Amino acid sequence: MAAVFALLVLVAWPAATAAVRVTQDSLLNVCMDAKHHKTEPGPEGQLYGQQVPAESWWVLVGPDGSQLSPSCPVQCVLWKDNACCTANTSLEAHQDQSYLYNFNWDHCGAMPEKCKRHFIQDTCLYECSPNLGPWIEQVGADPTLTHPPGSLG
């Protein structure tokens, strides 16, 4: 009996797992379903770029693997050829007081420029990158939030 069960599992397992496999291609080149993201990634040639001061130059590699020169604007512009953000979103990411999250970078006092640059890069990655698919968790609507008990929904 155990041998029959083992054989059944060996035969059925590949078919059962094939339906739930996620391919690498399905995780890349997608935008999040979020407030400030485009529905599909694509060129966005006018992304806002912030010049990096000479004293903080470092080697940057573009999405195509090419090395960017120190005078090249960085931050959101790295995704200009294939972005999930709009030019306006990238501009707002660089503002001290931004509508994106109703947040002020200087809410605890003046933030040092190097620190601010880090947070802006982080925001640009989150808003603009089309390759965050492996970290996107699909969450369904909670019925208690959409129709709380006692509601007329």
- Indicate the pTM of the whole model: 0.61
Question: Parallel, antiparallel, or unpaired: how do β-strands 60-61 and 67-68 relate?
Answer: antiparallel
Q: Per the structure block, which two tokens stand in for 38? A: 């485009």
Domain ranges of the chain: 43-134
- The predicted pLDDT at position 7 comes to 52
pLDDT tens by residue, 93-115: 888 888 888 888 888 999 998 89
Question: Cβ distance 112 to 5 under 8 Å?
Answer: no
pLDDT tens by residue, 2-36: 655 555 545 555 554 444 455 666 789 999 998 89
Mean pLDDT to the nearest integer, 134-152: 65
For residue 42, what are the β-bridge partners? 83
Q: Cα separations (Å) of 69 from 124, 140, 150? A: 19, 43, 61
Q: Average pLDDT of the chain?
A: 73
Q: Which residue, among 109, 86, 87, 84, has the nearest Cα to 96 in the 3D structure?
A: 109
- The predicted pLDDT at position 96 comes to 84
pLDDT tens by residue, 68-100: 444 444 688 889 899 999 988 988 888 888 888
